[in-house]
């Protein structure tokens, strides 16, 4: 059995993405991106707005296709799979968190974490137990029966983290997950995120403008001129 500390959860090799190719407005967003994330590792992705970090996250999460290069999740090359298989891998192996929580407003916090599990074929009782455990781990189990509108911004985002981890993904991709929060709330929510990463052993790639938060992760990568550089 492989050591989870050294298991490669996500690997990008030679990823390139060009918009408006062969036109006067051609934009080379990604230029030969190579990235390896191991299980249990949290990596910060730092880049100015418009540099391509969301494009990179979308490619890593199978929401977009690179023009060239290879994406592997859990060792499986995924870019040439059919849509049904890509959707299955994305649902089971990738969790997404965005700057805005995107919780379903008509459902409670608990239901928002249960629903993706039901969509993945988990039995209702097991899904509820998993959801309650996750909500408890980030300190908001007492708010489980509240709808998003009755939760604070920090609580909403913690529910979003739990929803992203509901199906026990290999990889968590977060795009400015604390960017909409005040500094104190951001710090608490980020702490909850890091606790979840450490407890579950998943690989996390977190895009952020907050250099203080970035420094608390295992590595910091900068996206500059379409390429990744350390630091």
Residue 1 above 70 pLDDT? no
pLDDT > 70? residue 231 = no
Q: What is the pLDDT of residues 167-191, one digit of tens each?
A: 989 999 998 888 777 888 888 778 8
Q: How many CB atoms are closer than 10 A to CB 14? A: 13
- In this structure, how many other beta carbons lie within 10 angstroms of the beta carbon of residue 106? 10
Q: How confident is the model at residue 199 (pLDDT cuts 50, 70, 90)?
A: confident
| Backbone φ and ψ of 64, nearest 5° | -145, 160
**Of 42-46, 60-64, 112-116, 184-188, which gets the smallest average pLDDT?**
184-188
Look at residues 64, 65, 4, 60 and name the one whose alpha carbon lies nearest to residue 36: 60
Q: In the sheet where 203-207 sits, what is the strand order?
A: 94-97, 171-175, 203-207, 42-46, 219-224, 227-230
Considering the chain, what is the average pLDDT of its residues?
87
Please measure the distance between the N-terminal and C-terminal CA atoms of the chain and give it in whole angstroms. 33
Average pLDDT over residues 27-46: 91
- Please check the confidence at residue 214 and state whether its pLDDT lies above 60: yes
Residue 4 has pLDDT above 50, yes or no: no
**Range in 160-164, 196-200, 213-217 the model is least confident about:** 196-200
Token pair belonging to 154: 């920090």
Q: How confident is the model at residue 143 (pLDDT cuts 50, 70, 90)?
A: very high
Q: Go through the domains of the chain in sequence order and give each one's CATH number.
A: 4-230 (3.40.50.300)
The pair of three-digit structure tokens given for residue 49, joined into one six-digit string: 């707005």
- Percent of the chain predicted with pLDDT > 90: 43
Asked whether residue 42 carries a pLDDT value surpassing 90, the answer given is yes
Q: How confident is the model at residue 25 (pLDDT cuts 50, 70, 90)?
A: confident
Residue 195 confidence (pLDDT)? 82
Query: Tell me, what's the pLDDT at 5?
Result: 46
| Axis crossing angle, helix 109-119 with helix 124-137, rounded to the nearest 10 | 130
DSSP per-residue string spanning the chain: ---TTT-EEEEEEEEEEEESTTSTT-EEEEEEEEEEEETT-EEEEE--TTSSHHHHHHHHTTSS--SEEEEEETTEE-TTS-HHHHHHHHHHHEEEE-SS----TTS-HHHHHHHHHHHTT--HHHHHHHHHHHHHHTT-GGGTTS-GGGS-HHHHHHHHHHHHHTT--SEEEEESTTTTS-HHHHHHHHHHHHHHHHHHT-EEEEE-S-HHHHTTSSEEEEEETTEEEE-
> Where residue 123 falls among pLDDT bands split at 50, 70, 90?
very high
- How many CA atoms does the CB half-sphere of 157 hold within 13 Å? 24
């Amino acid at each position: 059995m492989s050591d989870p500390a050294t298991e490669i959860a996500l690997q990008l090799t030679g990823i390139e993405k060009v918009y408006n190719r062969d036109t006067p407005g051609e934009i080379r967003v990604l230029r030969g991106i190579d990235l390896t994330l191991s299980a249990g590792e949290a990596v910060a992705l730092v880049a100015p707005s418009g540099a391509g970090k969301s494009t990179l996250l979308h490619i890593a999460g199978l929401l977009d296709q690179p023009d060239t290069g290879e994406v592997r999740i859990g060792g499986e090359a995924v870019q040439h799979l059919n849509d049904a298989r890509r959707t299955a891998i994305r649902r089971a192996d990738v969790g997404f968190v965005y700057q805005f929580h995107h919780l379903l407003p008509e459902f409670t916090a608990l239901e928002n974490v249960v629903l993706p599990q039901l969509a993945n074929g988990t039995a209702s009782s097991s899904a509820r137990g998993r959801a309650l455990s996750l909500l408890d781990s980030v300190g908001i189990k007492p708010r489980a029966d509240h709808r998003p509108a009755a939760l604070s911004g920090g609580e909403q985002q913690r529910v979003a983290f739990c929803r992203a981890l509901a199906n026990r993904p290999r990889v968590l991709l977060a795009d400015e997950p604390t960017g909409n929060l005040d500094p104190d709330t951001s710090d608490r929510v980020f702490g909850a995120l890091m606790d979840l990463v450490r407890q579950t052993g998943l690989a996390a790639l977190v895009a952020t403008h907050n250099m203080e938060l970035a420094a608390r992760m295992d590595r910091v990568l900068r996206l500059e001129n379409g390429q990744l550089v350390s630091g």
